[in-house]
């Protein structure tokens, strides 16, 4: 696993296992803390944050912070998981992974024509997801 420094404790193993099991989701430190408490594995929030920071430094986990003041989310980096962007529904809060060749062409254009490199870990497109649009077809808002 991802321990190049320090030692592997039961709490750390539980944190990593939870991240791996939920790798399709973005997890907050509070999610981890609540899960471990419910499982009878008490751990301090500072321990969760320190270990998450270590996993980020080791490139085992990605850290995302969508908006200033909003809690950071973490995601286990699964094998073969390339760079991708995210779309966030402003209505239901769904977070959707976006891997699209068209965005790749846009990134190439931004780099070549504007000498600008986009950080995909900080790039989020906001709007409404298909489910919310279907659910609100009768709304006039």
Q: Express as a percent the part of the chain with pLDDT over 70.
A: 83
Q: What is the mean pLDDT of residues 72-84?
A: 72
The β-bridge relationship of strands 61-64 and 73-76 is: antiparallel
- Neighbouring residues of 70: CB distance < 8 A, sequence distance ≥ 6: none
Task: Quick: pLDDT tens for 80-123.
Answer: 455 678 788 888 877 787 878 888 888 899 999 999 998 876 77
Beta strands per DSSP E along 28-120: 61-64, 73-76, 85-89, 95-98
Distance CA 10, CA 104 (A): 41
Task: Quick: pLDDT tens for 37-50.
Answer: 999 988 889 999 99
Which residue has better confidence, 66 or 93? 93
For the segment(s) 82-141, the CATH number from 2.40.110.20, 3.30.1490.190, 3.30.950.10, 3.40.309.10 is 3.30.1490.190
Domain parsing of the chain, residue ranges: 1-81, 82-141
CATH number of 1-81: 1.10.10.10
Q: What is the mean pLDDT of residues 40-64?
A: 91
């Amino acid at each position: 696993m991802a321990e190049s420094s320090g030692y592997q404790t039961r709490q750390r193993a539980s944190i990593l296992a939870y991240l791996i099991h939920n790798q399709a989701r973005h997890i907050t430190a509070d999610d981890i803390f609540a899960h471990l408490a419910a499982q009878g594995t008490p751990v301090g929030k500072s321990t969760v944050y320190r270990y998450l920071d270590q996993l980020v430094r080791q490139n085992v986990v990605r850290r995302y912070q969508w908006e200033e003041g909003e809690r950071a989310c973490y995601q286990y980096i699964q094998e073969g998981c390339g760079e991708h962007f995210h779309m966030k529904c402003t209505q239901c809060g769904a977070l959707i992974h976006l891997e699209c060749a068209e965005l790749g062409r846009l990134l190439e254009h931004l780099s070549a024509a504007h000498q600008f490199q986009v950080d995909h870990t900080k790039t989020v497109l906001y709007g409404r997801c298909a489910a919310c649009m279907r659910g609100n077809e009768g709304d006039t808002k």
